[in-house]
Amino acid sequence: MSDELPRVARLLWTGKQPSGRGPRPGLSLERIVDAAVAIADGEGIGALSMQRVASELGAATMSLYRHVPGKDDLVALMLDSTMSVPLDLPSGNWRAALDLWARRTRELYRDHPWVLGVGSSNRWMGPNEAAWAEAPMAVLLASGSPPGVAIEAVMSVNAFVGGVARLEIDPALGRDVGGHVGPVLDPEMIRRYGRAERYPAMLAMLSDAPQEPNDSRSTAEAVFEFGLGTLLDGIAGRLDG
């Protein structure tokens, strides 16, 4: 790869940082990344530090810098490592492929909630993340989709899945909000403290909403299924149009 690429890009794609320092015996970049992911999964990304990772590995903090230049670079490696699992999307059926890809992406966010917080930033994409995006786009292109439409379709599905995940999971702590989505609004709050005439649509919706908190219409699962099906219907219309 070009020497003009930023340090983090070279590290993501080669696993080696441009440094003359040799790695510390007993440590490896894979062990460091795995330990960092475990910390972020268990306690949130805010608990991550080079010192904490070193402590988990029984190593000196400075020894980590022989493998990874700093915390930002480590987070980039962590993010890419979460997408190292094979997807095995069905070929020849773009809708089935996108549907499965959406579900696998949702699983990834649920397994690693901190990805929601760090994955939306402008950054360099690693090889595993590139393969994750390549999989559905390859199926779309093979089905005859124009490249521009394939990119927009995959990005739209990803944005939708991430949006639902943000409603049902605390990205910082990984705390599930109980299967429900969105902030809580009791109609009595509007009637007592607001102006009912200002929120007629909200009051009508809340009055018609299910009273049982476990009613399927109020769950993230229902929102996900309805939204994904509707989105795929829209993409089908675009491809057939």
What does the mean pLDDT of the chain come to?
A: 84
Q: Residue 80 CB: number of other CB atoms within 10 A?
A: 22
> CA-to-CA distance for 37 and 30, rounded, in angstroms?
11
Per-residue pLDDT at 149 exceeds 80 = yes
Q: Which residue has the tokens 């930023």?
A: 6
Structure tokens of 161?
Answer: 């899945």
Q: What is the pTM of this model?
A: 0.81
The domain segmentation of the chain, as residue ranges, is 7-81, 94-180+219-240
The CATH class of the 7-81 domain is mainly alpha
Angle at Cα 86 formed by Cα 94 and Cα 39, nearest 5°?
Answer: 125
> CA-to-CA distance for 228 and 101, rounded, in angstroms?
11
Per-residue pLDDT at 143 exceeds 90 = yes
For the stretch 79-115, pLDDT in tens is 999 999 888 999 999 999 999 999 999 999 999 999 9
Contact criterion met (CB below 8 Å) for 139 and 102: no
